């Protein structure tokens, strides 16, 4: 589990908290203004809601959890498994793969091997696996989109809040001494908007993009492996070909069959 | 009907109204300035009008209604219908589809099946259906463009209004006490511009993009299905292939023919 | 003739004029400052001139006139004419088209039909027509580019003018009462720059893009029609294929040959 | 020689000089501040230097000279020459072109014709000429990149200079009368940055892009012409095909062979 | 070794130091504020950490070192070596290359030649080499991404720091004389953010992009060379073809075999 995202966001808030704490005359409490929080978070949520179908809007929590607690696909293990299946297929024929399917966890490998065992034509296997990948990519894009929209509408409502605060303050300006605190309150929504975007949502969106790319890379490797198995390629060639998808130091060199 | 857009926009305005209401010394009335509304909305409409052919400009209301009250294509139902047609074609031949056309609502399915029944060559069927899709995509893009332009020119005229207000105020600055309220009024157009963009038009445009993508996905599925029917594919294979376009939990598994 | 652009720009200026007129203590005259106009318009023109070959720079007037008074290609009429030519070709042979060329206004149809009549090979016809389209698209892009550059350098010189004004004002600040009017004058160039971009040039550029897309769509339809005529396709098939390029309600259904 | 760029940049500075001169109480001298010039120009040069290999950095002068004094490829003359070579090849055979090579200046035509005379296979000729074009395009892109980077880092160091100036001024603020002139000086670097970008570098970069496009168009025409000559096409067909790359009024119609 | 990046960044800081030194009443010490440094650098690092997997985050130091001390691929030497290998292959057969492999340093040449010697099919060689290139390109992109993110989150936390500073200052505004220095401190984080982006990270990212492009160009040349050797092309043709990838003045003309 990669907890960099969780650590990073907590660290971001810690940095700001320390920066405030060590400033003379400043208190954390002075930076917490509930109406401002409601204006920025509520407003941003409203615009995100208006931007997407209802069902997708509520996926934001599931998507965020994924960024925090995602278990990344173990690509070297995938390659190892594909090569091992290729060895079985070469030794005992494609049909022998059926017996090994229950030891396979990855549903994408199961789908591909099952079609190969069933004698589905290679073009059809490739088409179906590619569609499946495209479908996963679309789901990932939609999930990331919600986070991107919070990163867009958070600062927007931050600015709207500041404008509202300034207009109120400037319109009622009788006591010049009140200008400073008035502006301070007005600026808080801009600060909130900037935090939502730069401390939370933009990093989250970048991380989701990375996770998606990694998962799709794993699927691409599986697809190429299945196609190789289906056409009866030498397991060593399949291994070499799949290894080119990963950096040299993570490459698998199974010499079991050597 | 997906009313998330309507709810979202209403919620956005509600959030701002509450934020103003709970500020001491502020009234909603202080945020309603008819000349400013005219300047921002009228100016934005003028620039949008100048950007597009007359006919397209007036489509903005139809387009907005679509975002609010759109009935999304029911993709599982489409797949079910295609598979059912494929079963008829396989059992009784392509010509038997003619008799089933009247129970089909979707004009795109009707067009495709009619061509298949007429014995049109597959390449021609695909070309015509693809052109039809491209034509729909263009109409959607043009509709969304109008909304995008309002999101661009709204804030632009907000800034123009604020500049005009500032220049008037700064040029006539005799009474220093009038500076505050003068600036408050000047800033209102910026606020309006930001609301037009971030609370109304940008979410609307995102939603339109989503609706368009969904409708085109439905057409893509129909096209693939028609091509499969035309070439006499097994209905089970067609079903499996079309199902890859939707997330696993929405997949259709019609076992009627099993 | 589509005069939406003219109406839109006039309306934009009208909106601003009204906004100024109804403000107490403001006069239109206070918003007209000849040195500022010279700085913004002259400066923008200088940078646009530096950006492009001399000949292209002077095309800006021709290009602007096109956006204002463009006569759009009548696509249904084009389809009707192509179908009618296809009927002649089918009935009396390709050579019979020569006699009908003089009733055709559109030079792109003439070019294509002439090549078909001359027996030019289809690949060559397609290559030459495609190059012609690419050449038209390039001319359109170059024309739009000049307008886009004015939209970029107008606001840039608006800001340069404001900076110059501020530096002068701040450097000579003896009489505090003069600060207000000084800033008012300084801001006028920013206002001018914003008007050049948002009221005039950006809408103009969008409109030019639309006109270009429409003209190229017409050429694409002609190209497809000519290729169909050349290969002796059924006029009804040609009509159906070309109709997919236009929205349903503008489709042509010539039943002359039915 | 197209001197629009030189004229445009000189005009840009003239406009600003006049704008300053006619302002009461302003002098050109007040706008020349050597430390600020050093900060903006020197800082931008430092960041551009850090962005690129040493050799490329020094190409900026050669590149700028090209934008100012470029002699554009005369495309109609190129077409004429290609057609004339095609006539020779058709009349006297490909080998006869060798005798005409010395009258050809353009090294790209020489390279192509030489390979055709040597009997190099058409695919190899096309590959080598395309690589050559790609190589020219890359050199142009790299040259333009340096200018683009000055346009990016100029304003950045303008802002850095202004921030430094403001921090100094605000930190030492004892005499309120000194605030105005202090801010005036601080703003001068922002003005310089904006001038570097909008009056000099962005127009230069646009012009370089145009020159590159024009030169590559010339090379594309030559490539197509050489391929036509090599495959023994009719010179009239070659002429017609090449002419589609230029606007109608610049087309060549050599009737020498008619 | 290309030390332009190191020189450029040092020069950037020198320029700023001089600009501060020569300002009357300013000291370098006034520009060093440890809490501000912590806020901007620490905050940016936190958000970058949250954006990427842990392992990738720590690659930033290795990546930066690469930009500073990268030894660029010597492309003419690569071409010379490929041509020399091609001569051996043509004279003594593909298998003779095995004896020359130990004099080759570049692992990509070794991989390609080894596969050619082993009699791997050309499509497989090309596929494996292309995947290898794609894998290198991805690693480069990921490395550059970390630097790009620092360039994005540095200014973001600069602004967050300034907002925090302004809110503290405005909220506690009792002594008007303290406003100036308070704002000066608040602005320092904006300055730091701008320096991180414009003096360090953006130039670094540009340089990394250049290094990556150069390395991939070298690999492309090797790939084309290996394919040529494998298919037994004439070494002179290979040389000519590879030379088109480099600017004329760096071209290799080995006449050893002439």
DSSP string, D151-205: HHHHHHHHHHHHHHHHHHHHHT---GGGHHHHHHHHHHHHHHHHHIIIIIIHHHH
Contact E50 A207 (CB under 8 A): yes
- Give the nearest chain D residue to C123 (CA atoms): D241
Which pLDDT score is estimated for E173? 66
Task: Please tell me the distance in Å from A16's CA to the nearest CA on chain E.
Answer: 7
Are D150 and D63 within 8 A, CB to CB?
Answer: no
- Residue E258: pLDDT over 50: no
Whether residues C51 and D203 touch (CB distance < 8 A) is answered with yes
**Exposure pattern of A98-122 as b/e (b: 16+ CB <10 Å)?**
eeeeeebebebbebbbebbbeebee
Give the residue on C whose Cα is nearest the Cα of B140.
Answer: C247
Q: Note the residue count of chain E.
A: 258
Which chain C residues are Cβ-neighbours of D237 within 8 angstroms? Answer: 124
More confident residue, D110 or D252: D110
Residues 6+ apart with CB under 8 A from A117: A94, A95, A97, A98, A101
**pTM score, whole prediction:** 0.89
Interval E85-109: pLDDT, tens: 999 999 998 888 988 888 888 889 9
Using one digit for the tens of pLDDT, what is the confidence trace for A198-236?
999 999 999 999 889 889 999 999 999 999 999 888 898
Residue in chain C lying closest to B38 (CA): C15
Which of B51-65, C7-21, D229-243 has the largest mean confidence?
C7-21
H runs (alpha helix) in C172-249: 179-195, 202-230, 235-243
CB contact under 8 A, E46 and A11: yes
Phi–psi pair at E234, nearest 5 degrees: -65, 130
Q: Which residues of E touch A4 (CB under 8 A)?
A: 49-50, 52-54, 57
User: Nearest Cα to E67, choosing from E216, E230, E206, E213?
Assistant: E206
The reply to whether residue C180 touches residue B171, judged by beta carbons under 8 angstroms, is yes
pLDDT of A252 = 66
Alpha-carbon dihedral sign for residues A204, A206, A208, A211? negative
Q: Does an interface of 3+ CB pairs under 8 Å exist between B and E?
A: no
pLDDT for position D86 = 93
Mutation site, C115, C167, C178, interface D, largest D CB count within 10 A: C167
- Chains D and C lie in contact, requiring 3 or more CB pairs less than 8 Å apart: yes
| C82 CA: distance to closest CA in chain B (Å) | 18
pLDDT band at D173 (very low <50, low <70, confident <90, very high): low
**Cβ contact B166–C184 (<8 Å):** yes
Q: How confident is the model at residue E256, as a pLDDT?
A: 46
Distance in Å, alpha carbon of B163 to nearest chain C alpha carbon: 6
Q: For C144-171, how does the pLDDT look when each residue is reduced to its tens digit (9 = 90+)?
A: 999 999 999 999 999 999 999 999 888 8
Which residues of chain A have a CB within 8 Å of the CB of E54? 2-4
B198 with A39: Cβ contact below 8 A: no
Q: Which residues of C touch D22 (CB under 8 A)?
A: 35
Lowest mean pLDDT: which of B125-134, D123-132, D152-161, E174-183? E174-183
CB contact under 8 A, B210 and A52: yes
Contacts of C13 (CB under 8 A, 6+ apart): C199
Q: Quote the CA–CA distance of D232 and D48 in Å, as a whole number.
A: 50
State the pLDDT at residue C251: 73
Q: How far is C190 from chain B (nearest CA, A)?
A: 8
Looking at CA atoms only, how far is residue E152 from chain D in angstroms? 14
The stretch C195-217 carries a mean pLDDT of: 92
Task: Collect all residues of chain A within an 8 Å Cβ-Cβ radius of residue B14.
Answer: 46
Instruction: State yes or no: pLDDT of B173 exceeds 70.
Output: no
Closest-CA distance, B256 to chain C, in angstroms, reads 36
Residues of B in contact with C7 (CB under 8 A): 49-50
Q: What are phi and psi of E236, to 5 degrees?
A: -65, -40
Which of the other chains make 3 or more beta carbon contacts under 8 angstroms with chain E? A, D
B148: nearest CA partner in chain C: C206
Q: In chain B, which residue's Cα lies nearest the Cα of A42?
A: B15
User: Do chains D and A have 3 or more beta-carbon pairs under 8 angstroms?
Assistant: no
Q: Is pLDDT at E196 greater than 80 in this prediction?
A: yes
pLDDT at C41: 94
Average pLDDT over residues D180-202: 90
D198 CB-near residues (< 8 Å, 6+ apart): C47, C153, C156, C157, C160
Distance of CA C234 to the CA centre of its chain: 36
pLDDT for res E85: 93
């Amino acid at each position: 589990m990669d907890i960099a995202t969780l650590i990073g966001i907590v660290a971001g808030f810690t940095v700001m908290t320390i920066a405030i704490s060590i400033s003379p005359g400043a208190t954390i409490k002075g930076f917490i203004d509930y109406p401002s929080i409601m204006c920025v978070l509520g407003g941003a949520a409203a615009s995100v809601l208006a931007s997407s179908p209802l069902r997708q809007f509520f996926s934001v929590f599931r998507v965020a959890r994924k960024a925090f607690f995602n278990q990344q696909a173990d690509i070297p293990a995938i390659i190892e498994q594909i090569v091992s299946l290729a060895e079985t297929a070469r030794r005992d024929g494609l049909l022998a793969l059926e017996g090994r399917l229950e030891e396979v966890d990855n549903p994408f490998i199961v789908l591909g091997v099952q079609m190969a065992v069933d004698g589905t034509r290679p073009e059809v296997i490739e088409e179906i696996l590619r569609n499946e990948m495209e479908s996963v990519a679309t789901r990932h894009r939609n999930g990331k989109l919600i986070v991107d929209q919070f990163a867009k509408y958070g600062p927007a409502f931050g600015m709207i809040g500041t404008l509202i605060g300034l207009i109120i303050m400037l319109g009622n300006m009788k006591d010049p001494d009140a200008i400073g605190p008035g502006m301070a309150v007005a600026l808080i929504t801009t600060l909130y908007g900037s935090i939502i975007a730069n401390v939370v949502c933009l990093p989250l969106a970048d991380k989701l993009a990375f996770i998606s790319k990694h998962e799709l890379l794993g699927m691409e490797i599986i697809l190429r492996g299945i196609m190789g198995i289906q056409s009866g390629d030498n397991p060593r060639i399949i291994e070499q070909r799949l290894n080119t998808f990963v950096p040299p130091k993570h490459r698998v060199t199974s010499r079991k069959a050597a």
